[in-house]
Structure 1
Amino acid sequence: MDVSPLLDDTFNAIEWINGNYKKYVAEEDKLSATERSATSAANDDDTIALEFISQSVLKLHLYMQQVHCAVEESSQKLVFDMPRIIKEAVILQAEVEELKKRMQAMRKEMTNVQEETGDCMAALERLNTMQTKLQKAKESLQESDGWGNLISELEDCFEHNDLKGAFDKLLSLQKSLQVQEQLVGHAERLEQVEGFKNRLEALASPNVVQCFADGSIEQAKKYVGIFAGIERSSQLEQYYRAVQKNSLQQKWKQILDMPATENSAHKFLSLYYNHLLEHCKQQVKWCAQVFNSTNGNFQPIIVVTELLPSLQPTRESYIVQLLKTCNERLELLEEYALANHNFTTQLNAFLMHSKIELPSKMHTSIVQSVYGYFQKFIEQYPRIEETQLSTQVDKLLLSQPTAADSVHHLENCNQKIFAWLSEACERCKNITDDLALCRLIEIISSILKKMLEIFSKTQRQIALSIGQGTENWAALQCAMSLLQCLSDFQIKLHKFEKGMQKRMTTLKEMLSAAASSTTIYSIYTDQEQINLRKSIEKYQRESVETENSYSSAIFFTSIYEQIKVHCIDTHDIALNVLLQPVEGHLLNIQSTMSSTSDALMPENMPAFSFVPQECITQIGQYLLTLPQHLEPLLFTPSPLLKQALEICNIKYTQSSIPCADTLLSLVVEQCCHLYQSQILQIKNLPLTSAKQFAVDIEYLSNVVEELGLSISTNLSQILILLKANPDNYLALSGGCEPRLVTAIRQMRNIVSTQ
């Protein structure tokens, strides 16, 4: 029996007993066949369980007895050893007390020794300090005696323009000055030495400028040593930068003064950047051989950061002049932005290849020097882009003489406008790295609204082209084509907006990483970046608020809403086209009846006949001819038209029903509504006239059934009420709408018995 689980913190007695019982049963099952057969007659499951319990209890008693014996033995041993342990503890405590007394005595002796020797050590220190001062004073007096000689020798070197001799004497003078630090008048001598340094620098400066201009490595090394010796290395680096900036400024003027051909006028910035990059690469290698310090290797980069903002004329002013005389202003800005980007990319690649690690501040200076001037053009870009897009769209969206021409023109406009918008977005990326994307979205929204205004004008043209009481299949064709055009417009807008969403997300990520990057985004101040991020978050927040209606709309939610309105209005125009003949025939009912007021008079009501009235048969014949006119348009509609129809009415979303049948059902529904309204205008209806109207409605119902449809519920109830016997009117009108029951009863002059 395994008793180790008894020590476990998560011990479970039931699980432990069951586990041991299963092991016991398994061991019993391993008995030989003869043994198991011999015992099977006498033992059952209960017997096995009792045997397991008895054996387990016996084993547990044995374990408990062993534990008790072990505890008893340990207790006796502890009692036996306790006096010895107490005795040893007392001895140890006495030894500790003795050690403590000895330490206190030793500490007292050390204090006495320190007091006795402290005065002696202080006296020795004072004597050593006095000896040092005396030695320095001796050396200072000796150097002071030779100071005048050094001054005269140095002056003689300056008179003979002996640069090397003057440098050596000045070094000796500096050493002598360090020794004379303790003498009176050290400050005046220090100023005198600084004056000699200035004279030496002035003597060397023409040769320094010349050797930097010639690129002489040996001469440059000599002057690096001289300026380092007089602690003027920073001034030497300034001379180097001044010479290089002067040379590059002259190159800038040469490029601008090149013959004003089209290529040179537009490519001047790329040409200069290429020259500047090659010059920088050469100078980095040259400086690595000349300057000893790490800062010396950075000098060509510092030249670039100091030169570009100080160019005369400035890049900004020269580009502004070109923009004033050029019609392709956006193309020019795109080219200059690309030049900025290429120069920065190539410069960073060169630094990485050369394993030159610049400080973060210097990276920021590079970006500011390259892109700083271009921030003005980034701010001007939206206005220039808006002017160009508006001009293009205004020329394109010209009024057409007919509705058919307008629809055909809109089909061509969709493709062109979205192509222009895509080009504008690409320009925004190339010129501003999408920094002007939020402003561009507003411009695009206004352009799209102009396009929707043309859709609205075309709708009015189609509505005005509908003839009174005649079949206008051309107008119907125009309405369907306009619906298809609207759907195409929506699909293109959806695809266009998806691309804009990705770019907006990328822009936000780039702005978040602007602090650690060397891109154009880092030229913006923290506040400007915060304002731009707020604009982006505003669009994203609006997207969340409107996702129930337009799951994909972020930037152009109002445009999608207007598209839906235009689709519904165009669909209504199509219905009006189809219902125009029906309305004309229904008006014939009124034209055959004289009326002294708005109500039709009973003496003008039609007499009963087993055939429907002519106007009703004309309506029926017209409805029967509708399928053959609608099938070419809607039986197998294009995906664009299908989508537009689904926007107009939810019934078109039923995939099992053709769009032609759905439109036909809507026509029938409106036809029944018009016929019902016509009937309900009658005030007095004789019995014979009521029967005639019932025949008319039954005929119309049969026609509609042939089309696979049914008349409206209200018209069916009117038929029941017209056919109802006056004596049993109320009983037969059960289940009909109360309003119709009352209207027909009053029309037929049936007296209510209630």
Structure 2
Amino acid sequence: MDILALSEPSFSAADWINANYKKYTEENNKKGSATATAFIQSYVAKLQLYVQQVNYAVEESSQQVVASMPRIAKEAATLQCDVAALQQKMSAMRQEVAAVQEETGDCMATLERLNTLQTKLQAAKESLQESDGWGNLLAELEDCFERNDMKGVCDKLTALQKSLQAQEQLPGHAERQTQVEDFKNRLEAMASPSLVQCFAESNLEQAQRHVQIFASIQRLPQLQQYYRAVQKNVLQQQWKQTLELQVSETPQQHFLALYYDQLLEHCQRQLKWCVQLFAGELLDMAQSQPFLVIAELLPALQPTRDAHILQLLKSSNERLELLAQYAQANQNFVLHLNSTLEQSQISLSADLHRQLGESIFEYFHKFIQQYPRLEETQLSTQVDRLLSNQATPSDAVRHLEDSTRKLYEWLQQACARCDSITNDLALCKLITVLGGIFKRQLENFSRTQRQLSLSLGSGNSEGMARSENWSLLQYTMSQLQCLAEFQLQLHQFEQQLHLRLVALASRLQRPASGAISIYQTCEPALRAQLLANIADYQQKGSDATAATSADSLGIFPQVYVTIKTYLAETHDITLNILLQPIEAHLAHIRPPIEVYPTAGINMPAFSFAPQESITQIGQYLLTLPQHLEPLLLAPSALLKQALELCNIKYTQAMPCADVLLSLVVEQCCVMYQAQILQIKSLPASAATQLSVDIEYLSNVLEELGLTINLQLAQILTLLKAAPEQYLNLSSGCEPRLVTAIRQMRNIISTQ
């Protein structure tokens, strides 16, 4: 039996018993209840024996512990006494150490004071020795100045600086320091002519000697100023030469790109030369010098870049093209500078980085401010050429289609110019300009619409009106399609503008790190204003999108309102074209009383025939489908969109020709109803004739798959009602119609 398993932390009694039982059966080759009983008896006996052994061992151990307790208590008391004695010894030792520290502290302070006095005395001794040699150094320095010995002056001045540093403790140090600075000024003045010459000639060997001299007298910043002054003078002369050469050439606009190329080549040459000149610890300073030259040179050019560009713009008719070329020259120059910095792994300071960007772009911001006005002038001139009166409606509609196409071509070109000239910094102002341009272009639609309306009213004779009306109908459909095309392109144009506004906001908020760009040169007030305008446009776009995806995106909302108005008005003209013959025939439906027999004779209904006017209306309505289906059987997507904007019925799942026919019939019924209600008196025969006419119109409409409106149906019921049954049959009809027909028929009310 494995007793050790009982002490394991993961001991399981069931598993242990099963394992032992399995082992027992395998050893005895027996199974069954008898075997299990024998196993249990055997293991119970063994476990009882094991428990007895454990109890005996525990009892024996406890007796030993009880027997050893007095001895343990005695040893603990002895140990406690030893600890108390040790604490007394440590306390005495601590007092002895404190006494020793108190006795030696004064001695150490005295030693430190004596050491300080010794150091001061040694410095004073050295100062006195240097003071004795100061006069000799001054005399030797003056002698070197008289002999123009630059190297000797440099050596003596270095020794003089060391001597000055050693005499710091002596009185008169400030006067000696001033004297040394005067000598440095004299040395700098002596070295400046040869320094300027070696910088101008790029003489590396002589320049390195001058670097050593200026470094020894701690005046390297002044040497850098000499270097930059020489380079700026050279580049200023190149600027004047470039302008003089461009004066004699016809394409003067290329002067800026040419000078930038020269400036870039000069910068790359000087970068290599400065790295050789300022080697070692001065490498970072050397790499920044050519870029600092550019940053200081460009704002100081004479004549200034903006002054020369303004002069060229005054004498040019292609001002926007010139500005685009100059903006491109700026961008190309910046791209090459960024490439040079990246390839050379040069990291400029934040101040120099900002100063370099401002030196390139700051002058151009005034042209960015002028750009919207120039763009407005050009677009207005182009649109004015489109605002021409056409002789016929067909010419006007065709001209409208061409003008819409040209307008959006010009707008795309304007947006491209806004990007190339201003990097979209003037995009918000351009949007304001474009709002006025759209307003002027919409005058073309208004003018064409008036021309269609006037053409509709000019046809007097029926034959002429009928032939001209079908042509006008085609023109109005073309007008509707052109309006839809205008709106579709406007929607796409707004989407492009929104994308550009989002990109502009991103560039303004997070300029490209480590790269020079025009966005980092924006003034904080201008940046904040642009971001606010962009946020406003984005909010309007979100609101418009939430309202309906077909409407404006919030940039040109008023243009959409105007287009919708023109669509409705053009559709009204279309209906008027189709209703004009009906209106002409309805004008004759005024039955005189004397035409009919006397009121006392009642004629049967079958003896009446529809009047000529109403039959002409019926024949006209029956011919409408053959005229409408060629135009609207399979309308273009744009025309379908335009019709849906005009009337919601066009969105139904039925042909547009049927919708338009239903609108014509609906309006015809309204006009017929109004014409009937104008009759003052209606004898019985006239009432019968009028009911026959209405029934004829109803039958015609049934052939077209339509019905007369409810009011006309009620009028028919009231006309056919016998006077004695009028009150009962008029139940459910509009009171207004009941009263009007009763008065026409001169039926006395029984109420």
Q: TM-score, normalised by structure 1?
A: 0.85
Whether the aligned pair in 1 keeps the contact of 2:158 and 2:216 (CA below 8 Å) is yes
Distance 1:525 1:515, change over 3 A: farther
Task: Pick from 369, 380, 391 the counterpart of residue 401 of structure 1.
Answer: 391
> Is the counterpart of residue 694 in structure 1 residue 691 in structure 2?
yes
For residue 615 of structure 1, report the CA deviation from its aligned partner: 0.6
Counterpart contact for 2:383–2:407, Cα < 8 Å? yes
1:614 to 607, 612, 621: 612
Aligned pair partner of 1:193 in 169, 180, 184:
180
Q: Counterpart amino acid of 1:617?
A: T
Unaligned segments of structure 1, at least 5 residues: 1-6, 8-19, 21-65
Deviations for 1:455-489, whole angstroms, at most 9, x for unmatched residues? 11211111111124632222222211111110111
1:350 aligns with 2:340: yes
Q: What letter corresponds to residue 497 of structure 1 in structure 2?
A: E
Q: Report the Cα distance in structure 2 between the residues aligned to 1:249 and 1:700, rounded to whole angstroms.
A: 93
**Superposition map of 1:294-313 within 5 A:** 294-313=284-303
Give the aligned partner of residue 364 of structure 2. Answer: 374
2:45: which partner in 1?
none
Within 2, Cα distance between the matches of 1:537 and 1:248? Answer: 44
Distance 1:95 1:212 in 2: 89
RMSD: 3.0
Shift of 1:101: 5.0
Give the counterpart of 1:258 among 210, 221, 245.
245
Gaps of 5+ in 2: 1-8, 15-50
Q: 2:713 aligns with which of 709, 713, 716?
A: 716
* Number of the residue aligned with 2:529: 531
What amino acid sits opposite 1:614 in the alignment? E
Contact 2:542–2:553 (Cα < 8 Å) also in 1: no
Whether the aligned pair in 2 keeps the contact of 1:407 and 1:481 (CA below 8 Å) is yes
Amino acid aligned to 1:673: V
Paired residues for 1:287-686 under 5 Å: 287-292=274-279, 293=282, 294-466=284-456, 467-468=459-460, 470-471=465-466, 472-514=469-511, 516=513, 518-547=516-545, 548-549=547-548, 550=550, 552-590=552-590, 593=592, 609-654=607-652, 656-686=653-683
Q: Distance in 2 between matches of 1:601 and 1:616?
A: 21
User: Cα gap change, 1:713/1:103 in structure 2, threshold over 3 Å: closer, same or farther?
Assistant: farther
Question: In the TM superposition, what is the alpha-carbon distance from 1:97 to its structure 2 partner?
Answer: 6.2
Q: 1:133 to 1:602 in 2, by over 3 A?
A: farther
Q: Secondary structure at the match of 1:684?
A: coil
One-letter amino acid of the structure 1 residue matched with residue 624 of structure 2? L
| CA apart distance, 1:185 | 1.6
- Give the superposition deviation at 1:515: 8.5
Aligned 8 A contact 2:718 2:730 in 1: yes
Shift of 1:139: 1.8
Contact 1:601–1:683 under 8 Å retained in 2: no
Mean Cα deviation higher: 262-271 or 276-285 = 262-271
Structure 1 residues 223 and 648: CA distance shift in structure 2, 3 A = same
The superposition leaves residues 489-509 of structure 1 with CA deviations (integer Å, 9 ceiling, x where unpaired) of 111111111111100111111
Query: Which amino acid is 1:239 matched to?
Result: Y
Contact 1:721 1:729 in 2 (8 A): yes
Is the contact made by 2:586 and 2:613 (CA closer than 8 Å) also made in structure 1?
yes
Letter in 2 for 1:582: I
Which residue of the partner structure matches residue 48 of structure 2?
none
Matches of 2:582 and 2:396 in 1, distance apart? 28
2:737 is the alignment partner of 1:747: no
| Residue 118 (1) aligns with residue 105 (2) | yes
Q: CA deviation at 1:121?
A: 1.5
Compared CA separation, residues 92 and 676, structure 1 to 2 (3 A)? farther
**1:288 partner amino acid:** V
Whether the 8 Å CA contact 1:258–1:264 is kept in 2: the answer is no
Q: Which residue of 2 aligns with 1:15?
A: none
- 1:642-675 deviation line (CA, Å, top 9, x unaligned): 1111110111112x31111111111111101100
Kindly state the Cα deviation for residue 259 of structure 1 after the two structures are TM-superposed. 4.2
Q: How does 1:206-245 map to 2 (within 5 A)?
A: 206-245=193-232
CA contact (8 A) 2:597 2:685 kept: no
CA distance in 2, matches of 1:314, 1:87: 107
CA–CA distance in 2 between the matches of 1:534 and 1:278? 41
Number of matched pairs: 679
Q: Which runs of 4+ in 1 moved over 4 A?
A: 80-104, 261-264, 549-552, 600-603, 605-609
- Structure 1 residue 683, shift from structure 2 partner: 2.8
Go from structure 1 to structure 2 and tell me whether the alpha carbon gap of 1:155 and 1:740 turns closer, same or farther (over 3 Å shift).
same
Distance, in Å, in 1 between the alignment partners of 2:274 and 2:622 is 95
- Aligned mates of 1:556, 1:672 — CA distance in 2: 40
Listed one character per residue, the Cα deviations across residues 586-617 of structure 1 (whole Å, up to 9, x for unaligned) are: 11123x6389xxxx9998x9987421001101
Q: What fraction of aligned residue pairs are identical, expressed as a percent?
A: 58
How far has the Cα of 1:196 moved from its partner? 0.8
**Cα distance between partner residues in 1 of 2:477 and 2:326:** 47
Q: Equivalents in 2 of 1:264, 1:613: separation in Å? A: 82
- From the superposition, tell whether residues 399 and 89 of structure 1 become closer, same or farther in structure 2 (CA, over 3 Å): farther
**In structure 1, C-alpha distance between the alignment counterparts of 2:417 and 2:308, rounded to whole Å:** 21
Secondary structure at the counterpart of residue 434 of structure 1: coil
Q: Distance in 1 between matches of 2:125 and 2:275?
A: 45
Distance in 2 between residues matched to 1:639 and 1:152, nearest whole Å: 102
1:542 positional shift: 2.1
Distance 1:706 1:90, change over 3 A: farther
Provide the C-alpha distance between the structure 2 equivalents of 1:513 and 1:602, rounded to a whole number of angstroms: 95
SS in 2 for 1:151: helix
Q: Which amino acid aligns with 1:719?
A: L
**Secondary structure of residue in 1 paired with 2:230:** helix
Q: Deviations over 1:222-274 (max 9, x none)?
A: 11111000000110111100010000000010100014356651111111111
- Structure 1 residues 389, 83: CA separation in 2 closer, same or farther (over 3 Å shift)? farther
How many Å apart are 1:436 and its aligned residue?
0.8
8 A Cα contact 1:209 1:240, kept in partner: yes
